[in-house]
Structure 1
Amino acid sequence: MPQENYPADKFEAARFEQERSRLRGVAYRLLGSLPEAEDAVQEAWLRLSRADTSSVDNLSAWLTTVTSRVCLDMLRSRKSRREDAFLDGAPEPAVTAEEAVERETILADSVGLAMLVVLRTLSPAERIAFVLHDLFDLPFDQIAPIVERTPDAARQLASRARRRVRGGDSLDAGQVAQKSVVDAFLTASRTGDLAGLMAVLDPDVVVRSDVLGGGGQVRELRGAEKVANFYNGLAQTARTALIDGVIGAVVAPLGRLTRVLDFRVENGRIVEIFVAGDPDRLGAVELAMV
């Protein structure tokens, strides 16, 4: 319907509704959290409803910029910004908790759990620059004002982030060999392949963990049969990753890092696994996709 035959507030609401799904996708990739992404999109609506956009030629680009700036602020503060009340006429999302989980699962699958984990380790500016340029094709001259940098500096931010996200592009022969073993272990674990697990475990394999027993106490599990039975069907959200330069695995439901698995492999078999869930360890780890 032409804008001149449509009240301005209703026209803006209709145009915003057309953009909502795309903006949610942008915000989710930037924030890694559906509730926060919904907050960011709603804040973008609030800013649209208060702004004079009569001189805006490209409303879609304008909304992308506004949403990205909101996300940058949220990344810097990492505080919830849920609005208690929406403006009259705002196109409010109305989903059940079950629908929200389903939607976030679909979003996480579309982005890739490994990428979500790595994105969360980047600085806010790196994350914004990489996501907007590499995933949404925004030019650096549009990204620069959002991250408060020059276009060249924004390009460097995206480049640094890209090296982390694509860290597996330059694996050496030893890393490739270890990755094949870790991949086989995770696949067998995920699919409940007990024989496959036994095939990649050393008979005297030991698992040490700071999370198995709780209370920060390191617990041990010894022997291929015990370890295989423990991990049989377990690694549903685990993914191979480069952890501090070494091939390992991360456990990250919906992209939220909860465990890091360090592997020691000898002669094509796993001889030791250390499972770390300590927040300090998780916060300090350097991750890259493989």
Structure 2
Amino acid sequence: MGIVGTGTDGTDGTEDMDGTAGERGRLINVAYRLLGSVTEAEDAVQEAYARWYGLPGSRREEILSPGAWLTTVTGRVCLDLLGSARARRERYVGAWLPEPLPDRAQWDRAGSSAGPGDPADRIVLDESVAMAFLVVLESMTPAERVAFVLHDVFRYPFAEIAGVLGRTPAACKQLAASARRRVETGRGPAPATGRADVVRHVKEAWETKDVAALVGLLDPAAVMTADGGGTVGTVLRPVEGGARVARYMVAVADRAPGLELLERSVNGVPGLVARKDGVVVTVAAFDVADGRVARIWVVRNPEKLRPWTGDFPEAPQGPPRHA
């Protein structure tokens, strides 16, 4: 895929002097895929830059490729964060899901509370940030995830990845192969228009509280997973089975009168956003297979919805640009 961030760098101009300013967008893209968190990705990149400028000037001048150095350090910081994240997520209330991202056009319309240099504004939306893919990445060990993302997504050679993981290139190759086996290869993604149509029908059935229609749109083995972070009410365990998911969705609609549903791109693929009194309270991502919804990931944790703050006016619908 060879994904490279192309947005603004959000620096204060200091890094421009040594040519590292343009690396920030790429590093944010790498870190978000490794961590599934915009905030943690920004922290990891900031730490890498801090270490870069903590080097003596003479040492920095000796480094032939500052970008490669920053990538290695960012990868190591992410590796450490992934290790500690496992312990933190054991204490997390309910399921932990990656932070959902709006489409760039939606982001531009809404405006960022953190300003135009916010890192979420620079993440390239493609299949490697789709919620389905990020959830698979969560099943990997930290070392597998780093090896897989750096090699299979960003096309870094194993010789460079070895410097991040502190292992031999051969060992890194084995880690990536192990991670690759975890990624589902049995079916390809549904066409963009097909996904959008299914999600639109789900929206319509949800709004009318039509349980039968929802059951018809959901795979019999569909699973809904919700992330409230312990700060808002939501189901703590996955809801399994299309009929149970449909009944749960209607029950939620009954308990939340006045909820406004909008069709929006979520991490580059069609999804739904729920607003209450003009405030985004829920972002739902969907995995569609064979014309039916197989998985629904619902993010309600307010800390993970910060990129969705602001006013989201009605926008032309259709396949997202990066689908």
TM-score, scaled to structure 1: 0.56
Structural mapping, 1:18-33, within 5 Å = 18-33=22-37
2:285 aligned residue (222, 238, 253):
238
- Following superposition, the deviation at residue 127 of structure 1 comes to 0.8
Is the partner of 2:150 in helix, strand or coil? Answer: helix
Structural mapping, 1:122-201, within 5 Å = 122-165=140-183, 167=184, 169-170=185-186, 186=199, 188-190=201-203, 192=205, 198-199=212-213, 201=215
1:104 corresponds to which residue?
A: 120
CA distance in 2, matches of 1:186, 1:170: 22
CA contact (8 A) 1:114 1:255 kept: no
Greater mean deviation of Cα atoms: 126-135 or 109-118? 109-118
Higher relative contact order (CA 8 A, sep 6+): 2
Confirm or deny that 1:64 pairs with 2:52.
no
1:32/1:214 CA distance change after superposition, 3 Å: closer
| 1:26-58 per-position Cα deviation (integer Å, ceiling 9, x unaligned) | 111111111111111111111111221222212
1:75 corresponds to which residue?
A: 82
- Following superposition, the deviation at residue 149 of structure 1 comes to 1.9
- Following superposition, the deviation at residue 190 of structure 1 comes to 3.7
CA contact (8 A) 1:238 1:250 kept: yes
CA distance in 2, matches of 1:18, 1:126: 27
Is the partner of 2:47 in helix, strand or coil? Answer: helix
CA distance in 2, matches of 1:96, 1:210: 27
2:265 corresponds to which residue?
A: none
Confirm or deny that 1:35 pairs with 2:23.
no
2:108 corresponds to which residue?
A: none
C-alpha RMSD of matched pairs (Å)? 5.0
2:135 corresponds to which residue?
A: 117
CA distance in 1, matches of 2:244, 2:52: 61
CA contact (8 A) 2:34 2:149 kept: yes
Unmatched segments (≥5 aa) in structure 1? 1-8, 81-94, 177-181, 259-290
1:251 corresponds to which residue?
A: 297
CA contact (8 A) 2:286 2:295 kept: yes
CA contact (8 A) 2:147 2:161 kept: yes
> Which amino acid counterpart does residue 65 of structure 2 have in structure 1?
N
CA distance in 2, matches of 1:41, 1:20: 7
CA contact (8 A) 1:69 1:146 kept: yes
1:101/1:161 CA distance change after superposition, 3 Å: farther
1:48 corresponds to which residue?
A: 52
Instruction: Name the one with the larger helix percent.
Output: 1
Is the partner of 2:62 in helix, strand or coil? Answer: coil
Matched residue pairs, number? 218
CA contact (8 A) 1:122 1:161 kept: yes
1:99/1:190 CA distance change after superposition, 3 Å: farther
TM-score, scaled to structure 2: 0.51
- What percent identity do the matched residue pairs reach? 34
> Which amino acid counterpart does residue 104 of structure 1 have in structure 2?
A
CA contact (8 A) 2:161 2:169 kept: yes
